[in-house]
Amino acid sequence: MTSTKIKHALPVKRSEDFAQWYQAVIAEAELAEESGVRGCMVIKPWGYGIWERIQKLMDERIKAAGVDNCYFPLFIPLSFFAREADHVDGFAKEMAVVTHHRLIADPERGLIPDPEAKLEEPLVVRPTSETVIGAAMARWIQSWRDLPLLTNQWANVVRWEMRTRMFLRTSEFLWQEGHTAHADEADAMTETLRALEMYRSFAEDVLALPVVAGPKPENERFPGAVATYSIEAMMQDGKALQAGTSHYLGTTFAEAAGIRYQDKEGQQVLCHTTSWGVSTRMIGGVIMTHGDDDGLRTPPQVAPHQIVILPMLRDNDGDEALLAYCEELRKALVSQSVFDEKVRVLLDKRPGKATAKRWGWVKKGVPLVLEIGGRDAENGQVSVVRRDRLWREDGKVDFKGIAREEFLATATSELESIQDALFAEARAWRDERIERGITDLAGLAAYFADDRPMPGWVELGWSRPTGEALDKVVEQLKALKLTIRNTPIDATPPTGTCPFTGEPAVERILVARAY
Amino acid sequence: MTSTKIKHALPVKRSEDFAQWYQAVIAEAELAEESGVRGCMVIKPWGYGIWERIQKLMDERIKAAGVDNCYFPLFIPLSFFAREADHVDGFAKEMAVVTHHRLIADPERGLIPDPEAKLEEPLVVRPTSETVIGAAMARWIQSWRDLPLLTNQWANVVRWEMRTRMFLRTSEFLWQEGHTAHADEADAMTETLRALEMYRSFAEDVLALPVVAGPKPENERFPGAVATYSIEAMMQDGKALQAGTSHYLGTTFAEAAGIRYQDKEGQQVLCHTTSWGVSTRMIGGVIMTHGDDDGLRTPPQVAPHQIVILPMLRDNDGDEALLAYCEELRKALVSQSVFDEKVRVLLDKRPGKATAKRWGWVKKGVPLVLEIGGRDAENGQVSVVRRDRLWREDGKVDFKGIAREEFLATATSELESIQDALFAEARAWRDERIERGITDLAGLAAYFADDRPMPGWVELGWSRPTGEALDKVVEQLKALKLTIRNTPIDATPPTGTCPFTGEPAVERILVARAY
């Protein structure tokens, strides 16, 4: 792609201004928009369609693990929060609080919360549901026979964010939160790691996002957790995105909520609990991993439409035969399966020029776009372009004319190939940008120097300091705008000394700028 | 079922105390429970599983009608509400209001809303989303080419109810809300009636709930609507349950939010909008229509498990062969389809006695329950009971021993038969309880006299009074604890005079006690 003729579909390129580019993709692909309500977005059909695909495919995995979906209240009484001190410290700064249950019209001020309808106990809009689900678990669990208790909910949660960015950090977002209770640490840890592995494989196999899975250092743990694991994906600006977390909560929440069981010897024992979640943030990760200067490239597994057929209508007598040809093509495609589901195909019959409509679908990232003219219909051909290979060297869109039968015979393998290509491309790109040769702070500072616009990640050995020694490391990293992302599970053992403490390195950590 | 030997699974019968019985079904079938948060319930796996089935099957119908799912904010600024006066009057009495965005720990009072973090403009937790979706529509619609705009969302909403009852009236509930914008009244009314018919057929074909569809009188309209249509189902205590509504909103909300389009002549014209919704309330309708003195009878189309296989394990060497037989049976069943989906089967291998587990599934209303003993396995048999025909005349559970092959050949038609039987039974029961012969107020009062514990509905002709004349009718009915449910679309034309006004009757209305 050396041609200078290529005229990209977005008003701004990734290399020019990544943040602006991100907003442009969201706008031009019609994924979401600001709602007029502070920090809350409207998720539009294409964005919500991707979320529905994520929900469906993740829910299958959650159910296959024997987890039952439930629904718990949106509101959490203040007293529930007060029970777990670390947890409330971690969340108290950013919660929406309901204090009244009625409005009245004031002659001067218009509608106001009715002072007569003040709640005795304010209610918090859930930022996460450990406390309220813990209270239910305490009711549901009596005996060892009730364990493990495996629950999940798909819900909206609210965290009052000061700086918001669509999909990545919004005051309200959609997610699933799994909550489980176990007889002992071993069983709870097995579940924590099962969820982590579910997220890793989901990110890689479904979203084509290569991720690094591992435990977080203690300063980055979920409020109240004993251990927090994450999957981290590299965006095209080199920053890390935490795309899912799984927490081993020890007996912290069990103690606060009184989740106990009678063991086989008749003793009352505290449960060990876990929680794990992924959210609409994943869509932000898909955009910043697979987007290009023409918009989004949606992985076929989560594309609401995998194939769009655009008839080049001419408002004349030939249209009828053309539409019949396209409809017949659509039917032949939807009868096929890919990724164990029926192929999702849209025949776009809306009025308007086919080329204008084409760019709409290119920006949304439909994996295969077909343009069908009257001559294609007569000759039994289709004209097709892969979204991941949009341009020819000469700067023209790489439409290929092939026989209808050949297209029908290869369409599903093309979709699989696009899914694989997106993953391979993202992985190769990321792997090139993980620097493993840095051994001191000066090297770290040089790698992340401000005149290097899109650095990647640094993986380095450290001595795993704790407490105040860790605080010092965190401060040193903060000065470079860096955080420790996690300790990659599959990293090679470290050699040498820790650049922060000078002590022997015992494990390797990922250091990066992050969303 | 004349035998007195029958020992029912619930602690209370419908005929003894219907309200208590309703609570007992919810508890014993593990559908939901009180959460400890005022007016909010926890929906447990079996209840949520039914909701997931409703979501899936309704969502298919919504998508088939060309409606796009989106997601809009949970919070609505007060100013959005102030724009539509009738609407806010209708909802203002029962809304949760967020006034603060942070908690702090007060040394004396513990956690309190931070006085420094008071919102400039309070936010209302959505009771319904006409206002915030209207604002989006105003952004999205420019030209006649953008119409109709068809959107839907699956969401939680909050209405601060003083008296709550699980599924029927809870402060938070789950629903779908469709919102559409059209070029003119005719197109909007077509959509209003399409949604109504979608709800009618869904209630009857999927939930096996016979319903009466029709417009509501003006006093029962949705706040701000020009016309409100409902589907009404008869519960086993004779009361009506409004199970879904569809509203033609005229230009009321378009005016408030500025939803305008440029027509083909270049004029700016107000859109006509609609909204329509069904909620978790439908599950209350399923319980009160199909429940019996042994718990719920879940219609096969929405049963999370349609068939449960219970191996009668004996903790001995024979268990392995028995489990293998059951697993083979499960596989043979899940490879079959019914209602255009794979059959949903659970092999319940949990420890515990099969008969105890059987009653758990009976209370949940699994359509077909199989108990398989070692001898069944040896002889290639199964022992099966239909939940809708639980008892033999002699008071024993009506298990039938049939050959495995015969069961496999008839299982899906049995499920279809149960679905049909539940509907036929409910319809016959309801049809017997719609009284059409009453022509005066004395007759109405006598029919609904308090010593008649479970009356049905009265359909009668009236003169369709409006304004103050209607207010008078509403008052007269209120004295009898009655409301007008709707004007059945398919009622026969009335004869005679209106019992309220003495004028000639022009249409027939349904009068009933209601939830």
**Domain chopping of chain B, boundaries:** 18-290, 307-414, 434-512
With a CB-CB cutoff of 8 Å, which residues 22-41 of chain A face chain B? 33, 35-37, 40-41
Contact indicator for A154, A101 with CB cutoff of 8 Å:
no
**If we measure between CA atoms, which residue out of A514, A461, A468 comes closest to residue A487?**
A461
The pair of three-digit structure tokens given for residue B480, joined into one six-digit string = 């009898």
| Angstrom distances, CA of residue A348 to CA of A301, A336, A369, B67 | 20, 19, 11, 15
Cβ A33 vs Cβ A27: under 8 Å? yes
- Please report, for residues A289, A292, A491, the alpha-carbon distance to residue A211 in angstroms, rounded to integers and kept in the order given: 11, 20, 13
Tell me the angle at which helices B318-334 and B404-432 cross, rounded to the nearest 10 degrees. Answer: 60
CA distance A377 to chain B (A): 27
Length of chain B: 515
DSSP 3-state helix, strand, coil percentages of chain B (rounded to 5)?
A: 35, 30, 35
CB pair distance less than 8 Å for A72 and B35: yes
> Which value, to the nearest 10 degrees, does the dihedral of the CA atoms of residues A48, A54, A57, A60 take?
-90
**CATH number at B434-512:** 3.30.110.30
A398 Cα distance to chain centroid? 30
Is the pLDDT assigned to residue B3 strictly greater than 50? no
Q: Is B111 an 8 Å CB contact of chain A? A: yes
Q: How many residues does chain A have?
A: 515
Separation CA A79–CA B38 (nearest Å): 13
The pLDDT confidence band at residue B267, using thresholds 50, 70 and 90, is very high
Residue B381: closest CA among B329, B459, B456, B433: B329
Q: For A180, what's the count of Cα atoms within 13 Å in the CB-facing half-sphere?
A: 28
The 3-state DSSP class for residue A24 equals helix
Q: What is the DSSP string of B193-206?
A: HHHHHHHHHHHHHT
| CB atoms A100 and B102 under 8 Å | no
Which residues of chain B does A279 touch, with a Cβ-Cβ cutoff of 8 Å?
A: none
* B320-355 residue pLDDT tens: 999 999 999 999 999 999 999 999 999 999 888 888
Contact with chain B for residue A66, Cβ under 8 A: no
Give me A235's structure tokens. 């965006």
- Here the tokens at position B227 are 């016309």
Judged by CB atoms closer than 8 Å, whether chains meet at A101 and B77 is answered as no
Q: Does B396 touch chain A (CB under 8 A)?
A: no
Sign of the CA dihedral running A82, A84, A90, A96: negative
Q: Verify whether the Cβ–Cβ distance B156 to A160 is below 8 Å.
A: no
pLDDT in tens for each of the 515 residues of chain A? 444 568 899 999 999 999 999 999 999 999 999 998 989 999 999 999 999 999 999 999 999 999 999 999 999 999 888 777 777 777 667 899 999 999 988 888 888 999 999 999 999 999 999 999 999 999 999 999 999 999 999 999 999 988 999 999 999 999 999 999 999 999 999 999 999 999 999 999 999 999 999 999 999 999 999 999 999 999 999 999 999 999 999 999 999 999 999 999 999 999 999 999 999 999 999 999 999 999 999 999 999 999 999 999 998 888 999 999 999 999 999 999 999 999 999 999 988 888 899 999 999 999 999 999 999 999 999 999 999 999 999 999 999 999 999 999 999 999 999 999 999 999 999 999 999 999 999 999 999 997 777 789 999 999 999 999 999 999 999 999 999 999 999 999 999 999 999 999 999 999 999 99
Say what the pLDDT of residue A92 is.
63
- Euclidean distance between CA atoms B346 and B326, whole angstroms: 10
* Chain Cα centroid distance, residue A342: 24
Distance CA B355, CA B369 (A): 11
For helices B185-205 and B45-64, what crossing angle results, to 10°? 140
B107 vs A: CB within 8 A:
no
Does A148 sit behind a cis peptide bond, omega within 30 degrees of 0 on the bond before it? yes
CATH number listed for the domain at residues A307-416 = 3.40.50.800
ipTM score of the complex? 0.96
Residues 6+ apart with CB under 8 A from A341: none
pLDDT at residue B91, as a whole number: 67
Candidates B33, B40, B42, partner chain A, best to mutate (most A CBs within 10 A)? B42
Report yes or no on whether pTM surpasses 0.80: yes
A111 and B92 within 8 Å at the Cβ level: the answer is: yes
* Pick from A89, A93, A156: nearest CA to A129: A156
Residues 6 or more apart whose CB falls under 8 angstroms from that of A373 comprise A312, A322, A383
Residue B463 burial (CB count, 10 A): 19
CA distance A75 to A97: 9
The DSSP output letter for A205 is I
Helix crossing, B281-290 with B18-28: angle to 10°?
A: 110
Mean pLDDT across chain B: 95
B446 touches chain A (CB under 8 A): no
Q: Tell me the per-residue pLDDT of B429-485, one tens digit each, with 9 for 90 and over.
A: 999 999 999 999 999 999 999 777 778 999 999 999 999 999 999 999 999 999 999
User: How far is it, in rounded angstroms, from Cα B304 to Cα A368?
Assistant: 36
From 3.40.50.620, 3.30.930.10, 3.40.50.20, 3.40.50.12780, which CATH number describes the A18-100+126-290 domain? Answer: 3.30.930.10
Burial class, B102, CB count within 10 angstroms (exposed 0-12 / middle 13-18 / buried 19+)? middle
Q: Are strands B41-43 and B103-106 parallel, antiparallel or unpaired?
A: unpaired
Give CA–CA dist A188/A251, Å, rounded: 10
Please name the fold of domain B18-290.
BirA Bifunctional Protein; domain 2 (3.30.930)
Token pair for residue B249? Answer: 């909103």
Residue A186 burial (10 A CB sphere; 0-12, 13-18, 19+): exposed
> Where do the DSSP E strands lie in B253-356?
260-262, 268-270, 272-279, 307-311, 337-338, 341-342, 345-347
ω before A107 within 30° of 0 (cis)? no
Q: Which position has the higher pLDDT, A318 or B99?
A: B99
The mean pLDDT of B295-316, rounded to a whole number, is: 96
Helices A404-432 and A281-290 meet at what angle, rounded to 10? Answer: 100
Chain B interface disruption, residue of A40, A103, A143, most B CBs within 10 A:
A103
Option in A105, A112, A156 nearest B156 (CB): A156
Q: In DSSP terms, which residues pair with A510 in a beta bridge?
A: A459
Closest-CA residue of A relative to B30 is A140
The predicted structure's pLDDT at residue B1 = 43
Half-sphere exposure of residue A289: CA atoms within 13 angstroms, side-chain side? 32
* DSSP one-letter code for A204: I
- Report which of B295, B287, B301 is spatially closest to residue B236, judged by C-alpha positions: B287
Q: Find the CB nearest A125 among B68, B98, B171.
A: B98
Query: What is the rounded distance in angstroms from the CA atom of residue B467 to the CA atom of residue B218?
Result: 9
* Spatial separation of the C-alpha atoms in residues A367 and B327, rounded to whole Å: 40
Contact A147, A271 (CB under 8 A): yes
Our CA-based measurement puts residue A29 at a distance from the nearest CA of chain B, in whole angstroms, of 14
Shortest Cα distance from B75 to chain A (angstroms)?
7
Q: Give the gap in angstroms from C-alpha A393 to the nearest C-alpha of chain B.
A: 37
Q: Which helix (H) or strand (E) holds B174?
A: strand B172-182
Quickly tell me which residue has 């515990």 as its tokens.
Answer: B352
- Please tell me if residue B44 touches chain A, with a CB cutoff of 8 Å: yes
Q: What is the sign, positive or negative, of the torsion defined by CA atoms of A20, A21, A27, A28?
A: positive
Chain B residues inside the 8 Å CB shell of A98: 96-99, 125
Pick B307-414's CATH classification: 3.40.50.800, 3.90.1150.10, 3.40.50.2300, 3.40.50.720.
Answer: 3.40.50.800
Dihedral (Cα; B312, B315, B317, B321), 10-degree rounding: 30
Q: Is B256 on the interface with A (CB under 8 A)?
A: no
Residue B85 contacts A where some CB pair is shorter than 8 Å: no
Locate A386 and state its tokens: 């892969």
Q: Single out the residue of A497, A503, A501, A508 nearest to residue A458, CA to CA.
A: A508
Give the gap in angstroms from C-alpha A222 to the nearest C-alpha of chain B: 19
Return phi, psi of residue B496, to 5°: 75, -160
Shortest CA gap B408–chain A (Å) = 25
pLDDT of residue A155: 98
Suggest the residue from B75, B108, B141, B147 to mutate for an interface test with chain A (most A CBs closer than 10 A).
B75
Q: Which of A390, A392, A382, A393 is nearest to A418 (CA)?
A: A390
Cα–Cα distance, B397 to B370 (Å, whole number) = 12
Taking the C-alpha atoms of residue B430 and residue B212, their distance in angstroms, rounded to an integer, is 11
Which of chain A's residues have a Cβ under 8 Å away from the Cβ of B73?
35, 37, 40-42, 172
Residue from the list B37, B103, B139 with its beta carbon closest to the beta carbon of A73: B37
Q: CB count, 10 Å around CB of B289?
A: 27
Task: Output the DSSP codes for B37-59.
Answer: STT-EEEPHHHHHHHHHHHHHHH
- Beta-carbon contacts below 8 Å between A and B: 193
